[in-house]
Each structure stands twice: as structure tokens, then as C-alpha cells.
Amino acid sequence: MGRLFGTDGVRGIANRDLTPDLAYKLGFAGAMVLAGDTIHKPKILIGCDTRISCGMLEAALTAGICSAGADVFLCGVVPTPAVAYLTRKYSCDAGVMISASHNSYEYNGIKFFSGSGFKLPDDTEDEIEAIVAAYDEENHTRPLGGHIGQRIVMEEAAHEYAEHIKRRLSVDLTDLKIAIDCANGASSAIAPDLFVDLGAKVFVTCNKPDGLNINQNCGSTHLGQLRSLVLTKGCDLGLAFDGDADRLLALDQYGNLVDGDAILAIIGADMKENHELKADTMVVTVMSNMGLDIMARETGLVLEKTAVGDRYVLEKMLAGGFNLGGEQSGHVILLDHSTTGDGILSALALLRVLVRKQKALSELAKIIKVLPQILLPAKIPDDKKSRALEDEDLLKTIKNYDALLNGRGRILVRASGTEPIIRVMIEGENQEAIKEMAEHIVDLIIARYGA
């Protein structure tokens, strides 16, 4: 059996991979590890997105946590960064978010936060996983009577998070027309009113979740509906969140994509100009477009690079004392304001640059020239990922293609930490050529290791 925790918590198809039984054990183990040494009665906070399976998993998690003697604070539907913030606000010992982020509704996930609002390091996740693996119903002494945990509903949690965001990064959005795609997810009841409160004229799509439509042809992974809204309403820009609202992608007034790399470039350059960027440094991942490297050299920015995953970006930010980092996918971490990626906060930081410079997003986005990039998935079982990545013919093919790129592009082949796929990313100057290369590599992987 592989490691239970991936790059972003425990994730899988709800009621098959992520069952109520597993959720119960994760709740019990999480409480034991994260709140076991407290002298007070432990408190653990839970939030969720809009998936149909969230209620089922929330109930199981709550039972596991309460059975370990910890109280549970239920926040209902809130963005992932709200869990990080509210865990600190309520002085909880840990926080838990039930969400599978950008994945479709049949998936779900459980990710833990420490009492300080940060995602857990690998060794702490390993402790939780060890208790889950060794769990035996008969070998645990559980609290009794008044020592059993209670379930406490926090009615105002979402409102408190929204007010916190407005206090942290308030921007006067008067006269701006903004289109928003809420992905039928956790931002649906929060984002529209927040931007209206700041003065914007707001047009919204995909803010009516029904448990099944989260990320369905909408949000940061499907920008078509948002693009139509931007163009038909004559908006200044469009903002697309994912299911748990911890990432942001944007569209300019012409409907052109402004991805995570471009958002980081715009915000980073502005922060540097205003002496707000610590050590003039941004932390990004190896997936970032080479155009970001070129932009950094031209503007005097320093790039620190990590493995893929916002948790690794955050680790390097904390280690180096940096305050801006993120991923091409739209995770942006503004460490002066939040301990994790926050799509709504990132949108406000981007809008602050528009207001400061009085320029259109299309003009601001010119700061980075993005090289053509192809990103394709090769769907294979999780237990075959390691063998596939070590395949001699695959490595030889990659080496040959890398030689053809001749330093004017790059190839990155890596296993997803959240899905049963290997991602093939190629950058280069010739779109058609790199597309053929990527398709060939994907076909090779699937032919040898596909299900």
C-alpha cells in the first residue's frame, strides 16, 4: 500500500477510496497527534466545500475526533484558507478541510492544518498515518462522560472570514466591472458580496452549487463560461476560483488567460516597486514557465524554486523569510496575510495593482512573455507511477527530445500527488513540435503502464 497522504492531504473517490470508516480513523488519529498533548480539552475545526459527500465525511470525521476527546467546531461551507484563518482565530489545536479542490464532485479529500494555520509537514502526516494503519477498535481507551468531545456549529464562520479578508487587503474597486466564476464551490456564498462591498460592479456565474456541479465545466479548470461573461458584459477582467477557492486564474478584458505565473509576476513586480517584497524574492515551482525566469532577470527579481506543490513553496518561504510564492496553477501565497494559498486574497492583491497603476490587466500582463507550453496527462494506476518514471525507453526519449530543444525549452515528467496520472509538460518555441513530443511521451507511458 502506498502512502495515504499525497501532496495535498488524503484524496480519492468518496465512499470508495475515501470512506466514512477511513474518515473516522483520520479524525481519531488526527486528534491524537495534533491535540494529544494539550492540558485543556482539545478543539479541532472543520470546514468543507460543496460536494455531495461532504456531509457524510464531516459526520465521520466529527465522530472520530469527538471519540478521541476533542471538541469539534463545524464551520460548514468555507474556502480552504478560511479554515487556516479560523483555526488560529478560535485558538483551535488543529483544522481540517474536506475538499478535493479542483477535482470533479465524485472525489473528495481531507487535509489537516496545525493550530498555527499551516499545512502539516510530512513527518506529522506520517504519525497520523501510522495510527490509522494500526487502528484496532479494541485497543484504544476512549474518554467517557464529560470528557467526550462535543459538536459545536459556528454559524458566522464564513462571514468572519470574509470580513477578515477585507480588513487584510482592502481595495477601492469603484468603477471596476468584474466577472467572477465561483466553480459552484466554496466561494459561491462569499466572493460576489465581498467584491460588491468593495465597490465593484460584479457579474457572477457558477455560484449555485447542488452537490454535483462543483468544477463542472467551470472554475479555474474550465474558463469558457467566464470568458463569455467577460466579453458580453464588457468587464475589466474575470476571476476564476477552484472548488475550495484556494487558487485563482484571471482573464483580461479581451478574455485572454492570465495564469498563476503571470499573476505572480504582476504582484511580485509591484510589491518590489513598493518595497514590500522581502529580499526581492518570489518562491515558485519547477513547473513555472521559463518566461517567469526571463521576467525575473529583467526586473531584478530573484526566483527560488521548489518541487511541485504549494506546501513545498510554503516551506521554502518560511525557511527563507520570503513573503510571496506560488504556482502556475493559481496557488498564490501572500504570507503577510495568509498561511496558505487564498484565491480571493490573491484576487484582491491583483486588483490592488490595477488600482495603483491605473492600467488594464492586459497591459500589466505584458510584464511576462509566456513561452508556449503543453501539459498533458497520462492516466495510469498509482502503483505503476514509479516504474513508469524509471522506464529506460521513456528516459531515452526524453533525453533525445531535450537535445532537440537545445536549451530553448524544457521537459518535465512527474507523477501527480493527487490523481492517478503522470503529467508531461514541455515548453519550447514551436507549439506544434512540442505538442507532438508531449503526445508521443504520453502514448509511450500509457502503452506500457496504462490500466
In the chain, the percentage of residues whose pLDDT exceeds 90 is 85
Looking at residue 447, what is its pLDDT?
A: 93
Amino acid letter for position 430: N
Looking at residue 301, what is its pLDDT?
A: 96
CA distances from 220 to 101, 206, 214, 274 (A): 10, 11, 11, 29
Rg (C-alpha) for the chain, rounded Å, is 22
Output 58 or 139, whichever has higher pLDDT. Answer: 58
DSSP 14: B
pLDDT at residue 407 is higher than 90: no
Residue 117 · residue 95 · CB < 8 Å: yes
Bridge-based pairing state of the strands 302-306 and 281-285: parallel
Output 307 or 24, whichever has higher pLDDT. Answer: 24
* Model-wide pTM > 0.85: yes
CATH architecture entry for 257-343+360-370: 3-Layer(aba) Sandwich (3.40)
CATH code at 173-245: 3.40.120.10
- Distance separating alpha carbons of residues 300 and 296, to the nearest angstrom: 6
Looking at residue 204, what is its pLDDT?
A: 98
195-198 long-range CB contacts below 8 Å, 24 or more apart?
195/347, 197/166, 198/166, 198/170, 198/171, 198/172, 198/173, 198/348
Looking at residue 139, what is its pLDDT?
A: 67
Residue 108 · residue 11 · CB < 8 Å: yes
Residue-wise pLDDT tens digits, 256-293: 999 999 999 999 999 999 999 999 999 999 889 988 98
pLDDT at residue 417 is higher than 80: no
- Distance separating alpha carbons of residues 312 and 325, to the nearest angstrom: 10
Residue 330 · residue 343 · CB < 8 Å: yes
Confidence tier at 138 by pLDDT (50, 70, 90): low
- Distance separating alpha carbons of residues 432 and 429, to the nearest angstrom: 9
Output 40 or 94, whichever has higher pLDDT. Answer: 94
Residue range(s) of every CATH 3.30.310.50 domain in the chain: 373-449
- CATH fit for domain 10-159, picks 3.90.400.10, 1.10.10.10, 2.40.170.20, 3.40.120.10: 3.40.120.10
pLDDT (average), residues 105-125: 94
Residue 416 is a catalytic residue? no
Residue 111 · residue 97 · CB < 8 Å: yes
Exposed / middle / buried, residue 257 (Cβ in 10 Å: 0-12, 13-18, 19+): middle
Output 410 or 215, whichever has higher pLDDT. Answer: 215
DSSP 425: E
pLDDT at residue 1 is higher than 60: no
Superfamily for the 373-449 domain: Alpha-D-phosphohexomutase, C-terminal domain (3.30.310.50)
Residue range(s) of every CATH 3.40.120.10 domain in the chain: 10-159, 173-245, 257-343+360-370
User: Of 346, 308, 302, 332, which is closest to residue 320 (Cα–Cα)?
Assistant: 302
Residue-wise pLDDT tens digits, 155-206: 999 999 999 999 999 999 999 999 999 999 999 999 999 999 999 999 999 9
Residue-wise pLDDT tens digits, 348-397: 999 999 999 999 999 999 999 888 989 999 999 988 999 999 999 999 99
Annotated catalytic residue within 99, 101, 288, 338 = 101
Output 36 or 200, whichever has higher pLDDT. Answer: 200
Looking at residue 7, what is its pLDDT?
A: 78
Residue-wise pLDDT tens digits, 60-85: 999 999 999 999 999 999 999 999 99
Residues 6+ apart with CB under 8 A from 31: 42, 44, 64, 65, 68, 69, 70, 94, 149
